[in-house]
Amino acid sequence: MASNSSSSTAQQRLRIIAGHLQKRPEDENASVAAQECKAEAPRSEPSSATPVPRRRQEIMKWNGWGYSDSRFLFTKKGQAEFTGKRYRLSGLILPSLKDWFEGTFGANLQHRSPATPSLNLSAVAPPNLNQPFVEDLKAAGLVVSHDPEDRVFRAHGHCLHEVFALREGRIGRVPDMVVWPSCHSDVEKIVELACKHNVCLIPYGGGTSVSSALECPREETRSIVSLDTSQMVSVYMHACRQYLRIRRLNEHGYCTGHEPDSMEFSSLGGWVATRASGMKKNIYGNIEDLVVHIKMVTPRGVIEKSCLGPRMSTGPDIHHFILGSEGTLGVVTEVTLKIRPLPEYQKYGSVVFPNFQQGVACLREVARQRCAPASIRLMDNEQFQFGHALKPQVSSMFTSFLDGLKKFYITKFKGFDPQHLCVATLLFEGDRGKVLQHEKQVYDIAAKFGGLAAGEDNGQRGYMLTFVIAYLRDLGMDYYVIGESFETSVPWDRVLDLCRNVKERIVRECKERGVQVTQTYDAGACVYFYFAFNYRGLNDPVHVYEQVEHAAREEILANGGSLSHHHGVGKLRKEWMKESVSGVGLGMLKSVKEYVDPQNIFGNRNLL
Amino acid sequence: LAPRHPMLKKRDSFEDILEERRHSSDLRYALRCYTPTLYKGLVPCKASMLKSIVLQSDHLQYVIKQVSSESGDSTECVAEEASLILDEMAHRLQLSTVRFFVFTLSKAFKRLFRSVCVNEEGIQRLQQAVQEHPVVLLPSHRSYMDFLMMSYLLYMYDLPLPVIAAGMDFMSMKFVGEMLRMSGAFFIRRSFGGDKLYWAVFSEYVKTMLRNGYAPIEFFLEGTRSRTCKSLTPKTGLLNIVMEPFFKGELFDVNLVPVSISYERILEESLYARELLGIPKPKESTSGLLKARRVLSEDYGSMYVYFGHPVSVRSLTEGKITRSQYNLLPRCIPQKPSADTHEFLNDTAFRLVRIQEGNMVLKPWVLIATLLLQNPDGMDLSSLAEQTDWLRHLALAFGAFLDWPDHAACSEVISCSLALHRHLLSVSAGHVQLSVTDAPQVETTPEEAVFHQAVVVLSCASYRNQILHVFLRPALLAVAMQSANSNRKDDVYNCFNFLRNMFSSEFILCPGDSVQDFEEACYLLMKRGVLQVLEHEIVMSASGHSTLAFLSSVLDPFLQGYQVVSRYLCEETNENLTEKEFIPAVRNFALKLILAGRLKCYEALSSDLQKNALAAFLRLKAVMKVKVGDQVTLKVNKIAVNSLEDTLGKSDVISHQNSWWSRLVL
Binding residues of A: 203-209, 274-277, 326-332, 473
Record: contact B330-A493, CB cut-off 8 A: yes
Record: contact A494-B249, CB cut-off 8 A: yes
Interface test with B, best of A495, A504, A579 (most B CBs within 10 A): A504
pLDDT digits (tens, 9 = 90+) for B374-420: 988 888 998 899 899 999 999 999 999 999 988 888 889 999 999 99
Q: Which amino acid is at A527?
A: V
Asked if A536 and A498 count as a contact pair (C-beta separation under 8 A), the reply is no
DSSP, residue by residue, A72-134: EEE-TTS-EEE-SSSSTTTT-EETTHHHHHHHHH---TTS--PPPSS--GGGSPPP---HHHH
Is residue B171 very low, low, confident or very high in pLDDT (cuts 50, 70, 90)? low
Q: Of all helices (H) and strands (E), which one includes residue B355?
A: helix B339-358
> Do the domain assignments include residue B306?
yes
Supply angle C-alpha B314, B318, B322, rounded to 5. Answer: 100
Measured CA distances, B96 to B32, B33, B34, B37, B100 (Å): 11, 12, 11, 19, 6
pLDDT digits (tens, 9 = 90+) for B37-52: 888 888 888 878 899 9
Question: How far is residue B1 CA from its own chain's centroid?
Answer: 19
> Do the domain assignments include residue A432?
yes
Q: Which of B58, B324, B331 sits opposite A558 (nearest CB)?
A: B324
What average pLDDT does this structure show over B169-190?
Answer: 82
Is residue B292 very low, low, confident or very high in pLDDT (cuts 50, 70, 90)? low
Q: How much is the pLDDT for B589?
A: 92
Supply angle C-alpha A454, A460, A465, rounded to 5. Answer: 115
- Nearest residue on chain B to A559, judged by CA atoms? B249
> Do the domain assignments include residue B555?
yes
| Alpha-carbon gap: A160 to the closest alpha carbon of chain B (Å) | 27
Q: How much is the pLDDT for A265?
A: 85
Q: Which of B58, B323, B331 sits opposite A558 (nearest CB)?
A: B323
Interface test with B, best of A499, A559, A562 (most B CBs within 10 A): A559
Residues of chain A with Cβ-Cβ distance to B314 below 8 Å are: none
Do A441 and A479 fall within a single domain? no
The residue annotated as part of the active site, out of A67, A528, A530, A535, is: A528
Q: What is the model's pTM?
A: 0.87
Do B191 and B315 fall within a single domain? yes
Does residue A31 surpass a pLDDT of 50?
A: no
What average pLDDT does this structure show over B201-210?
Answer: 94
Residues of chain A with Cβ-Cβ distance to B330 below 8 Å are: 491, 493
pLDDT digits (tens, 9 = 90+) for A123-165: 899 999 999 999 999 999 999 999 999 999 999 999 999 999 9
Residue B191 or B73, more confident: B73
Asked if B160 and B271 count as a contact pair (C-beta separation under 8 A), the reply is no
Does residue A47 surpass a pLDDT of 90?
A: no
| Alpha-carbon gap: B154 to the closest alpha carbon of chain A (Å) | 28
Residues of chain B with Cβ-Cβ distance to A558 below 8 Å are: 249, 322-324
Does residue B646 surpass a pLDDT of 60?
A: yes
- Produce one character per residue of A422-435: b if its CB has 16 or more CB atoms within 10 Å, e if not: bbbbbbbbbeeeeb
> Do the domain assignments include residue B4?
no
Among A342, A364, A399, give the residue marking a domain's end. Answer: A342
- Report how far residue A264's alpha carbon sits from residue A278's, in angstroms, rounded to the nearest whole number: 12
pLDDT digits (tens, 9 = 90+) for A335-366: 888 888 889 899 999 999 999 999 999 999 99
pLDDT digits (tens, 9 = 90+) for A396-416: 666 666 676 677 777 777 778
CATH classification at residue A558: 3.30.300.330
Does residue A29 surpass a pLDDT of 50?
A: no
Do A456 and A359 fall within a single domain? yes
Residues of chain A with Cβ-Cβ distance to B248 below 8 Å are: 497
Do B318 and B184 fall within a single domain? yes
> Do the domain assignments include residue B414?
no
Residues of chain B with Cβ-Cβ distance to A498 below 8 Å are: 249
Q: How much is the pLDDT for A227?
A: 95
What average pLDDT does this structure show over B549-565?
Answer: 91
| Alpha-carbon gap: B250 to the closest alpha carbon of chain A (Å) | 6
Do A542 and A481 fall within a single domain? yes
Among A342, A361, A384, give the residue marking a domain's end. Answer: A342
Among B342, B359, B376, give the residue marking a domain's end. Answer: B359
Does residue A98 surpass a pLDDT of 80?
A: yes
Q: How much is the pLDDT for B52?
A: 92
Does residue B634 surpass a pLDDT of 70?
A: yes
Q: Which of B249, B324, B332 sits opposite A501 (nearest CB)?
A: B249
Q: How much is the pLDDT for A165?
A: 94
Does residue B654 surpass a pLDDT of 60?
A: no
CATH classification at residue A293: 3.30.465.10
Do A242 and A334 fall within a single domain? yes
Does residue A15 surpass a pLDDT of 50?
A: no
What average pLDDT does this structure show over A74-88?
Answer: 88
> Do the domain assignments include residue B338?
yes
**Average pLDDT score over chain B:** 87
Supply angle C-alpha B150, B151, B155, rounded to 5. Answer: 120
> Do the domain assignments include residue A351?
yes
Do A492 and A424 fall within a single domain? no
Q: Which of A504, A560, A579 sits opposite B252 (nearest CB)?
A: A504
- Nearest residue on chain B to A492, judged by CA atoms? B330
Q: Which of B249, B250, B330 sits opposite A558 (nearest CB)?
A: B249
Among B340, B359, B378, give the residue marking a domain's end. Answer: B359
Record: contact B323-A493, CB cut-off 8 A: no
pLDDT digits (tens, 9 = 90+) for A361-381: 999 999 999 999 999 999 888
pLDDT digits (tens, 9 = 90+) for A549-576: 999 999 999 999 999 999 999 999 999 9
Record: contact B326-A560, CB cut-off 8 A: yes
Q: How much is the pLDDT for B120?
A: 92
- Report how far residue A495's alpha carbon sits from residue B227's, in angstroms, rounded to the nearest whole number: 48
Record: contact A500-B252, CB cut-off 8 A: yes
| Alpha-carbon gap: B324 to the closest alpha carbon of chain A (Å) | 5
Record: contact A559-B249, CB cut-off 8 A: yes
β-bridge partners, A481: A534
Q: Is A67 a catalytic residue?
A: no
Measured CA distances, A99 to A13, A76, A321, B541 (Å): 49, 15, 48, 75
Do A547 and A479 fall within a single domain? yes
Does residue A19 surpass a pLDDT of 60?
A: no
What average pLDDT does this structure show over A520-534?
Answer: 77
**Average pLDDT score over chain A:** 83
| Alpha-carbon gap: B150 to the closest alpha carbon of chain A (Å) | 31
CATH classification at residue A383: 3.30.70.3450
Is residue A173 very low, low, confident or very high in pLDDT (cuts 50, 70, 90)? very high
Record: contact A501-B252, CB cut-off 8 A: yes
- Produce one character per residue of A115-150: b if its CB has 16 or more CB atoms within 10 Å, e if not: beeebeeeebeebbbbeebbebbeeeebebbbbbbb
For residue A11, count other CB atoms closer than 10 A to its CB: 14
Show which residues on chain A lie within 8 Å of chain B, measured between beta carbons.
491, 493-494, 497-498, 500-501, 504-505, 557-560, 579
- Nearest residue on chain B to A497, judged by CA atoms? B250
pLDDT digits (tens, 9 = 90+) for B594-618: 999 888 899 999 999 999 999 999 9
Does residue A43 surpass a pLDDT of 50?
A: no
What are the backbone angles phi and psi of residue B238, rounded to the nearest 5°?
A: -70, -30
Q: What is the domain extent for residue B334?
A: 14-31+46-265+300-359
Is residue A49 very low, low, confident or very high in pLDDT (cuts 50, 70, 90)? very low
Binding residues of A for FAD: 203-209, 274-277, 326-332
- Report how far residue B546's alpha carbon sits from residue B544's, in angstroms, rounded to the nearest whole number: 6
The 3-state secondary structure of A24-48, one letter per residue: CCCCCCHHHHHHHHHHHCCCCCHHH
- Nearest residue on chain B to A523, judged by CA atoms? B330
Q: How much is the pLDDT for B317?
A: 94
Do A436 and A482 fall within a single domain? no
Q: Of all helices (H) and strands (E), which one includes residue B559?
A: helix B545-571
- Report how far residue B200's alpha carbon sits from residue B207's, in angstroms, rounded to the nearest whole number: 10
- Nearest residue on chain A to B322, judged by CA atoms? A558
pLDDT digits (tens, 9 = 90+) for B91-147: 988 889 889 989 999 998 998 899 999 999 999 999 999 999 999 999 999 988 888
> Do the domain assignments include residue A248?
yes
Residue B150 or B408, more confident: B150
Q: Which of B249, B252, B332 sits opposite A560 (nearest CB)?
A: B249
What are the backbone angles phi and psi of residue A19, rounded to the nearest 5°?
A: -60, -45
Do A369 and A449 fall within a single domain? yes
The ipTM value here is 0.82
Give whichever of A169-173, A238-242, A511-515, B15-19 has the largest mean pLDDT.
A169-173
Do A349 and A334 fall within a single domain? no
Interface test with B, best of A494, A507, A553, A556 (most B CBs within 10 A): A494
Q: What is the domain extent for residue A331?
A: 237-342
Q: How much is the pLDDT for B280?
A: 65
What are the backbone angles phi and psi of residue B187, rounded to the nearest 5°?
A: -110, 130
Q: How much is the pLDDT for A163?
A: 94
Binding residues of A for substrate: 473
- Nearest residue on chain A to B133, judged by CA atoms? A504
- Report how far residue B81's alpha carbon sits from residue B190's, in angstroms, rounded to the nearest whole number: 18
pLDDT digits (tens, 9 = 90+) for B234-254: 999 999 999 999 999 999 999
- Report how far residue B46's alpha carbon sits from residue A58's, in angstroms, rounded to the nearest whole number: 66
Residues of chain A with Cβ-Cβ distance to B331 below 8 Å are: 493-494
Q: How much is the pLDDT for B611?
A: 94
Q: How many domains does chain B have?
A: 2
Interface test with B, best of A488, A490, A497 (most B CBs within 10 A): A497
Q: How much is the pLDDT for A382?
A: 84
Among B359, B377, B395, give the residue marking a domain's end. Answer: B359
Residues of chain B with Cβ-Cβ distance to A559 below 8 Å are: 249, 323
CATH classification at residue B172: 3.40.1130.10
- Report how far residue B451's alpha carbon sits from residue B417's, in angstroms, rounded to the nearest whole number: 25
What average pLDDT does this structure show over A577-595?
Answer: 95
Alpha-carbon torsion (A270, A272, A273, A279), positive or negative: positive
Q: How many domains does chain A have?
A: 3
What percent of chain B has a predicted confidence (pLDDT) above 70?
Answer: 91
Does residue A10 surpass a pLDDT of 60?
A: no
* Cβ-based neighbours of A387, under 8 Å, separated by 6 or more: A379, A423, A458, A461, A462, A465
Residues of chain B with Cβ-Cβ distance to A493 below 8 Å are: 58, 330-332
**Pairs of CB atoms within 8 A across A/B:** 28
> Do the domain assignments include residue A12?
no
Do A352 and A451 fall within a single domain? yes
> Do the domain assignments include residue B105?
yes
Show which residues on chain B lie within 8 Å of chain A, measured between beta carbons.
58, 248-250, 252, 322-324, 326-327, 330-332
What average pLDDT does this structure show over B359-386?
Answer: 92
> Do the domain assignments include residue B393?
no
Residues of chain B with Cβ-Cβ distance to A494 below 8 Å are: 249, 331
Interface test with A, best of B247, B315, B323 (most A CBs within 10 A): B323
Q: Which of B157-161, B328-332, B647-651 is predicted least confidently? A: B647-651
Q: How much is the pLDDT for B7?
A: 43
Do B474 and B338 fall within a single domain? no
Q: Which of A124-133, A210-219, A297-306, B22-31 is predicted least confidently? A: B22-31
Residues of chain B with Cβ-Cβ distance to A505 below 8 Å are: 252
Do A309 and A246 fall within a single domain? yes
Q: In what order do the strands lie in the sheet with A422-430?
A: A452-453, A345-353, A422-430, A375-379, A515-520, A524-534, A481-491
Is residue A4 very low, low, confident or very high in pLDDT (cuts 50, 70, 90)? very low
What average pLDDT does this structure show over B211-217?
Answer: 92
Q: How much is the pLDDT for A174?
A: 95
Do A337 and A357 fall within a single domain? no
- Report how far residue A297's alpha carbon sits from residue A342's, in angstroms, rounded to the nearest whole number: 32
